[in-house]
Amino acid sequence: MVDNDNNVLLTAFNEHFFEFIDDINNVIVNDSSIKRVKTALMMIKKMNPSLIIKIWYKYIVLNYEKEINENNVNFFIEKDYKKDLVYISSADNIMQHIDYLREPIRNMGKENQYKSFKYIQNLCLLSKLYNQ
């Protein structure tokens, strides 16, 4: 039963994750960097469907659950993630992809920033349930 529940959570997470990217792309129309990030993430999902949810849990939920629960949108927009990526070999590449998604959110109006943050909160909840 647990495996079936995890499959449902994984599917929900992946669908919601790519809806989030699509919504960012819809607000910031025709941004090629967002399309490149989505393509790269789709390839990762095809190779290993659970990798994104596991990374999300390890690097976002475990490190930033407090800020997420406090609805601290500005924390994520302004945070310097380089310190968090010090021990990761592809840190520069990861940082570039974070910025590809973060920059459009930074430039959105408050209402769209709030919607984006709700996506982040939902993704955190799904990844937390999946990894328990």
Q: Would you say residue 26 has pLDDT above 80? A: yes
pLDDT-derived band at 2, boundaries 50, 70, 90:
low
Contacts of 74 (CB under 8 A, 6+ apart): none
Crossing angle, helix 91-107 and helix 2-27, to 10 degrees?
60
State pTM to two decimals.
0.86
Q: What is the model's pLDDT at position 91? A: 64
Distance of alpha carbon 48 from alpha carbon 34, whole angstroms: 21
Q: Would you say residue 48 has pLDDT above 80? A: yes
More confident residue, 3 or 26: 26
The average pLDDT across 44-50 equals: 93
Residue 88: count other Cβ atoms within 10 Å of its Cβ: 12
Sign of the CA dihedral 35, 49, 118, 55?
negative
Report domain extents, the chain: 2-130
Distance of alpha carbon 53 from alpha carbon 35, whole angstroms: 20
Q: Tens of pLDDT along 71-91?
A: 888 888 888 777 777 767 666
